[in-house]
Amino acid sequence: MEKAHNNSKIAQGLAACVMIVGIMVMCGWIFDIGILKSILPMWVTMKFSTALCFLISGITIISIARMKKYPGLAQISLSMTTMLLMLFMASLFLSSFLGMRTGIEELFIKETQEAIRTTVPGRPSLGTMINFILIAIAGIAAMFRWAQLKVFLMFIGRALMVIGGIAVFGYVLNLPPLYYAFEGLSTAMACHTALLFMIIGMSLIFLSSKD
């Protein structure tokens, strides 16, 4: 029981860290602080929509962790966060292949056309979209108490860590395709985006072993 409680606390702590970074990046866009947007000038920026979705994802993880203790509030929270994540990222994902803009890309902040390794200003990478959709699915699974939820959370957690880890490896080796930079199709995944996905992946893995 104590181990389960500790795992839940760790997961919530990791989620809180992700939320804080997401808020910092949003502030970077609002106040034009380059180091918060892209860490290094020659690296791709974390898009504003991505930072916002990290904030929403953190709330999702905390809601999953508190599902047993506060089931009513957690259900309400998860219904809102999963809907937002799905709405944002599924729309952007489809628009990437249909060659159109949804308006979500520049709904909050407008990015310049010259943005580094960016196919459409404001649009995150395909890897980013897939990961947020996976996080939304994890929230839906928790909300409806799917069978084998722990195994499911473990699987999604590992998937997030692998997708994020490949991108980090790509930055280390300076191989753009590894961080999902495909000209005309996918914006590159920002380095701190990849790291945050790895942290969220770890939080889901801790949640999968909390009971």
pLDDT for the residue numbered 117: 87
pLDDT digits (tens, 9 = 90+) for 108-132: 788 887 788 898 888 999 999 999 9
Would you state the structure tokens that stand for residue 7, as one six-digit string? 């795992």
Q: What does the H/E/C string look like for the chain?
A: CHHHHHHHHHHHHHHHHHHHHHHHHHHHHHCCCHHHHHCCCCCCCCCHHHHHHHHHHHHHHHHHHCCCCCHHHHHHHHHHHHHHHHHHHHHHHHHHHHCCCCCCCCCCCCCCCCCCCCCCCCCCCHHHHHHHHHHHHHHHHHHCCCCCHHHHHHHHHHHHHHHHHHHHHHHHHCCHHHHCCECCCECCCCHHHHHHHHHHHHHHHHHHCCC
pLDDT at 80 over 90: yes
Domain extent listing, the chain? 2-105+112-208
Share the mean pLDDT of the chain: 92
156-185, pLDDT tens digit by residue?
999 999 999 999 999 999 999 999 999 888
**Alpha-carbon span 134 to 71, nearest angstrom:** 22
The string of pLDDT tens digits covering residues 83-101 is: 999 999 999 998 888 877 7
Stretch among 44-48, 67-71, 83-87 having the lowest mean pLDDT:
67-71
Cα–Cα distance for residue pair 187/173, rounded to 1 Å: 18
Q: Which residue has the higher pLDDT, 153 or 97?
A: 153
What integer pLDDT is reported at residue 147 of this predicted model?
A: 74
For residue 148, count other CB atoms closer than 10 A to its CB.
10
Give the residue among 115, 93, 50 at the shortest CA–CA distance from 185.
93
